[in-house]
Chain A
Amino acid sequence: MLLTNLEIVPGRAVSQHLGLVQGNSVRAKHVGRDIMASLKNIFGGELRGYTELLQESREEAVARMIEQAEAAGANAVLNIRFSTSSVTQGAAELYAYGTAVILD
């Protein structure tokens, strides 16, 4: 599966568009990380736990998007976009979407 956020793939032509594919993941942080984060809120700096957490859930969102694209029979997803929204206090939704296509 070829993933790109370009609208074309250099050197290859799109033979068929299969439409929108998407994947999302909602994750909450756990208490241990929350305590560390509240300490960091005093000292400032990077919250490593959160960075990892969000990275993991973003990977999951991408994996779900790939699953959908595979089910549609695509071999590439073009023009991928990410978006983040906070659903409730302490949880974030990570969303990835793109266009599934068949490349020659």
Chain B
Amino acid sequence: MYDLIIFFVLMSLGYGFGRIAEKRHYKSIIERETDLNRIPAIVLRFPPPSTKPQQTVLVMGSVVISIDYFKRVAAKLRGLVGGRMKSYETLLDRARREAVLRMKEQADGMGAKMVFNIKMETASISKGRKGNIGSIEVLAYGTAIIPATMPMSVTSQSLA
């Protein structure tokens, strides 16, 4: 009996807080995405040739996000009948977008104008008792291309 009460309390806590957290997270993701649109993240291996001197720096962003209790139960039920697991879809979507945003923020701090050769890496960090995925880590990394400042341009001209 107590187990059942605890289960329902956890379910409702997970549902309530999880919903609020997700809504808030998506709001901040969309806000920052529109702000950071000026730095395109490009999934090409080679940057376009340029006559101007440029500096390249490796940038990365990572995030670990956990799924809430309600969604985990919902996903388990979904596992019985099959089909789209929407709760995991939004989890992974949030994590990826957050990781890319953090990478862009790092690039922005260095004054980069674009980020090249984006690679993504996903790993499940903790597994629950029955082997269900609890939290995932997403890493996004790429090379920021920064227009060189004066001293850098002098050295590269002298090299050329």
Q: Report which A residues bind B (CB closer than 8 A).
A: 2-12, 37, 40-47, 50-51, 54-55, 58, 80-86, 89-90, 92, 104
Contacts and interface: CB of A to CB of B under 8 A. Distances in A.
A44 B134 CA distance: 9
Contact of B126 (A80, A85, A90, A104): A90
Interface size class of B (residues with CB under 8 A): 35 or more
Contacts of B117: 5-6
Interface in B24-73: 25, 45-47, 49-50, 53-54, 56-58, 60, 62-69, 71-72
A54 B62 contact: yes
Q: Which 9 A-B pairs have the closest CB atoms?
A: A44-B68, A44-B18, A84-B123, A50-B64, A43-B17, A3-B58, A45-B21, A47-B64, A42-B69
B102 to A, nearest CB: 9
Interface of B: 10, 13-14, 17-18, 21-22, 25, 45-47, 49-50, 53-54, 56-58, 60, 62-69, 71-72, 98, 116-117, 119, 121, 123-128, 134-135, 137, 139, 141-143, 145, 156, 159-160
B56 A4 contact: yes
B45 A6 contact: yes
Contacts, number: 133
Nearest to A3: B58
A54 B64 contact: yes
A9 B52 CA distance: 13
Contacts of A41: 66-69, 72, 126, 128, 134-135
Contact of A10 (B47, B66, B127): B47
A44 B67 CA distance: 5
Contacts of A47: 64-66, 125, 135
A45 B20 CA distance: 10
B54 A44 contact: no
